[in-house]
Structure 1
Amino acid sequence: MALKRAVILPGNGAGNVEHCNWYGWVKKRINEISDMSCVLRNMPDPVTARESIWLPFMEKELKCDDETVIIGHSSGAAAAMRYAETHKVFALILVGAYTSDLGDENERESGYFNRPWEWEKIRSNVKYILQFGSTDDPFLPWDEQQEVANGLKADLHKYVDRGHFQNTTFPELINAVKKLKTNC
């Protein structure tokens, strides 16, 4: 297995993802890495981000496979984790990952949180797992982010001042992808 592709899974409700948060900036930088390509698409069902719609789209349209790093932000991180329960992927980079519906009806309707997480299956299907989280995230309690890190034995990059990672650039993520590329 070699790392050849990156797929960015946005958070729900992102609108045109090319112009939202750091997504378009990261896509451009990854496409500048030798022998790498990056896919960033507006997702179907972008508000509720239903698992039943997103996971087949990831497989059939985005072609997430064992040469792909899936970069998932927020709802995209939940989708990436559920996908990796049943599919081999090269790596996961989870940004603002969490484990429950947080008492929110829209999150509950997504379908990601209606059963236990299968941490061992995810770990067995993924070569590398990195996680970015911030203790000052206004949407996600730190204990849920830590639960993801513990369950996946992720390489956790913990911040205290990044909120929900909604900046327009994300150089640490590019460095993480370059490091993954070098290690393969």
Structure 2
Amino acid sequence: MPLTKAVIVPGNGAGDVERCNWYGWANTQINKIPGMTCLLRNMPDPVRATESIWLPFMQEELQCDEETVIIGHSSGAAAAMRYAETHKVFGIILVGAYTSDLGDENEKDSGYFSRPWEWEKIRGNIGHIIQFGSTDDPFLPWQEQQAVADGLSAELHKYTERGHFQNTEFPELIKAVQKMRAEA
């Protein structure tokens, strides 16, 4: 299957996603890639990011499928991984991914962390996995980011000065999408 679509799944609490972090900027840049369409929508239940609400939205509204790369940031990375346990997608790009509720009630209530990760199923449903993480992330311990990379055998881009990737531009992300498109 060709790669024709990217879907940006934001982190929880993003509010108006077009104006939050790098999401709107990346949406514009990806839509400039010939043959690509990028979708960026305000998610339902944006504060808690509940799995039982977000995953059906990703399937029914965003139509994530075998021609889609899901770009998930923070809670959106958790959603992308859980989605890929049961759905085939072209690829996932994880930004600030983690494996536990971090002792946070909101994260615990989201549902993503209520059971073990099924790394083998995720790998089996995805052709390409790229991950971005930073050792100075103020929210995510590096061990959790590394555990995702190890579990998924992801192509890991490790930084030391990017925090939680809340900047307004993210050129490396666009290069990752272009790389996946070229490999399609």
Q: Provide structure 1 residue ranges, at least 5 long, that are not aligned to the other structure.
A: none
- Are positions 1:107 and 2:107 aligned together? yes
Aligned equivalent of 2:168? 168
Q: Provide structure 2 residue ranges, at least 5 long, that are not aligned to the other structure.
A: none
- Are positions 1:63 and 2:57 aligned together? no
- Give the Cα–Cα distance (whole angstroms) in 1 for the partners of residues 50 and 176 of structure 2: 28
Structure 1 vs Structure 2 CA RMSD? 0.2
- Give the Cα–Cα distance (whole angstroms) in 2 for the partners of residues 154 and 180 of structure 1: 13
SS at match of 1:33: coil
- Are positions 1:140 and 2:140 aligned together? yes
- Give the Cα–Cα distance (whole angstroms) in 1 for the partners of residues 180 and 77 of structure 2: 18
Cα shift at 1:122: 0.1
Aligned equivalent of 1:179? 179
Aligned equivalent of 1:77? 77
TM-score by length of 1: 1.00
Question: How many matched pairs?
Answer: 184
Cα shift at 1:7: 0.1
- Give the Cα–Cα distance (whole angstroms) in 1 for the partners of residues 115 and 176 of structure 2: 30
Cα shift at 1:63: 0.2
SS at match of 1:127: strand
Render the CA deviation track for 1:112-159: whole Å, top value 9, x for unaligned.
000000000000000000000000000000000000000000000000
The residue type equivalent to 2:175 in the other structure is: N
What's the % identity of the aligned pairs?
A: 75
Render the CA deviation track for 1:79-104: whole Å, top value 9, x for unaligned.
00000000000000000000000000
Structure 1: 4+ residue segments shifted above 2 A: none
The residue type equivalent to 1:174 in the other structure is: I
The residue type equivalent to 1:161 in the other structure is: E
- Are positions 1:22 and 2:12 aligned together? no
TM-score by length of 2: 1.00
